[in-house]
Amino acid sequence: MAARDDTTEADLLRVALDHIDQGISIFDDGLRLIGWNRRFLELLQLPRAVVRHGVDFAELLRFMARRGDYGHVDVEELVRVRVAAARARTRFYSERASLDQQVLATQTTPLASGGFVTVYTDISERSAAEMLTPARNDELEARANQRTIELRGLNEELHRKVRELQETSGALQISRERLRLITDVIPAAIAHVDQDLRLTFANRRFSQILGQQVQNQQQPAIVGSTLGQLFPGEAYHGLLDRVAAALDGTPDTFDFTYRSALGEDIVTHNTLIPEIADDRTVQGIFLLSLDVTEEKRAEAALREAQKMSAIGQLAGGLAHDFNNLLTVIVGNLASLREQVGAEVFQEFVEPAIRAGHRGADITRRLLAFARQQSLDPVAIDVPSLVAGVAQLLRRSLPGTITIHCADEAGGWPAHADPHQLENALVNLAINARDAMPDGGVLSFKTEYLTAPQGDQWAEVPPGDYVALSVVDTGHGMDEATMAHALEPFFTTKPFGGGSGLGLSIVYGFVQQSRGHFRLRSEPGKGTAISLLLPRSTELPVAEPAADADAAFNSGGALVLLVEDNEEVRRVARRQLLELGYQVLEASDALEGQALIDSIPEITLLVSDIMMPGRLDGLGLARYARGQRPELRVVLVSGYADTATLTADEERDWPVLRKPFVREQLARSILGAA
């Protein structure tokens, strides 16, 4: 009776091995083939006429080498080396492309009684996933190394157990244990349930996936448990329909998500295969399962990256059109200065101009989020900038929040974009407000330090910096929240209460400014954020007066204005005429190129950067300077990144940001070389 039970279990194992996704072959101590499964024939594409019981390892290897499986090699030399390694009982692992360009992983483990077991795995999908997400290569490599270590440990256990079984068991017992240990080496989870949905077999990997749940339910072993015990509650009900269909004889493949005992969502890719007897009745179900949680996370990360790229393109297009509209609005309003009285201008027109500039600031924030906004770093008097922001915040934040500003004497200016720094401080203040619903204290402190500063800023390169700290007395963050605080779209606020972009935008700005960012927080003790900005080698320059063009003298020179938007071109043309220029207009870069070639009297080129067609504003400017080195150039931008400018171009070609007024245009022309 015991022998029949052993035979039944061995048959079950053989059937299971024919349904797993790994190929298996076993050679005895005479290097003769004594066992294999169906997947071995499929992965290596071997005809059944070649694979037969007792075939010599060298003969099988010679067939594959002549067929080209190993590329252009000396066949007999390859056979000699591999046979020698097998007789020397050498472990072997390799990855190679098969004849149909699948990537196969081959792992050979010697047996104590002689001979060896080889497991073949198709890793094509894993390799493709690694190519799609190169940013995760280090993590995947670490996981692969860890899996290799685990497999080596399992192989050692396989080696030890086979030796023990050889001393205490007969040939049938050894064969059964070999099959069992081989299934434990396979990364797929394999199980069998009977008609009562009770587990009759499970390999090691299946135990690893569900062992914690079983342990929490105080089950002595997984085998013998029901699916209801292994997957309690909603998870079990989610499986019932699929299991019922499999018991009716219908195979099924599906993804299944359940919550682990540690509170993590585990995603598995599963195949249910009915066990059908000779009389066509279903005796049970084979379950094959792979943990694909990390792969699903990688796919989600890729989709998120693609979504961010699409948002960036959309933001760029919106900013370009919006800034063109603002240029028309602000430019026309500014021209009313001489047309209306001072009282009317101050009461009605000037507020509208300020609103237009605030609209431009909104587009800058949108582009900073989309990472398409180039920075305009200048020397900043940080305490003065902080004081201005604090004044704005005192009018905006609830009266229950007290704002303190402190700065260390004897400091130096920082090198950063002042608009982006103001935006960063406002974002941090909004976060502080939400962390102090019952009121509290928001503090800004400016300090000056020279790195290195011991352990406090040990990672900072040597140099002078301005340290700006923003501290609140709010509810603070725990370690789990801090671990995700800088991730885009992460927020602890209720739905609709925040986008989750504030801290990530601040962090991105500081990194783009070649600075450093530090976050410290404890639950109940508030949050402290430090921005370390590099020292500027220049002194802050006061903003020129609004009437800076009063002494401007164009001398009636001829200027070429290139702008594809007709309304923007009309505003810019009027401003140039008011500055005393004669103006030629072009609606695209190709038309402007033709005018430069044909009219040598042109002394100044004012061109938008982003224009339709095969030639944009940068290309036109470079062409013009190549033909006419003495030609002065002013570039106009609604959003375009000017990072492609060379150092000489960046020095000689001012970039005028839309929207602009006549005074700003005049200053840009004065700065053009």
Query: With 90 as the cut, is the pLDDT of residue 5 above it?
Result: no
Give the pLDDT score at 495. 40
Predicted confidence at residue 539, as pLDDT, reads 83
Alpha carbon of residue 533 to chain centroid: 26
Q: Which of 64-68, 165-169, 643-647 holds the top average pLDDT? A: 64-68
The residues near 16 (Cβ < 8 Å, ≥ 6 apart) are 183, 190, 192, 201, 286
558, pLDDT greater than 60: yes
The two three-digit tokens of residue 101, written as one number: 């360009």
pLDDT in tens, 536-548: 988 886 655 445 4
User: 232 pLDDT exceeds 60?
Assistant: yes
- pLDDT, residue 627, reads 92
Query: Tell me: the pLDDT tens digits for 325-371?
Result: 777 787 777 777 667 777 777 777 777 777 777 777 666 656 655 55
pLDDT at 454: 63
The phi-psi region of residue 198 (left if phi > 0; otherwise alpha if psi is between -120 and 50; otherwise beta) is: beta
For the segment 122-159, what is each residue's pLDDT rounded down to a tens digit?
887 776 665 555 555 566 677 767 777 876 776 677 67
Mean confidence (pLDDT) of the chain: 79
The DSSP H or E segment spanning 425 is helix 418-435
- What Å distances lie between residue 425 and 209, 224, 418, 431, 471, CA to CA? 47, 61, 11, 10, 11
On the question of a cis peptide bond just before residue 418, with omega within 30 degrees of 0, the verdict is no
- Determine contact, residues 472/536, Cβ cutoff 8 Å: no
Higher pLDDT, 322 or 255: 255
Report pLDDT digits (tens) over 514-528: 888 888 998 988 999
Share of the chain above pLDDT 70, in %: 77
The beta strands (E) that lie in 81-126 are given as 92-97, 103-110, 116-122
Phi, psi of 2 (to 5 degrees): -65, -40
pLDDT of residue 635: 92
Which tokens in the block code for residue 466? 């301005």
Per-residue pLDDT at 403: 93
List, for residues 294-311, the tens digit of each pLDDT value. 787 777 767 766 666 666
Rounded to whole angstroms, what are the CA distances from 129 to 94, 98, 103, 170, 305? Answer: 19, 18, 13, 45, 15
pLDDT of residue 156: 77
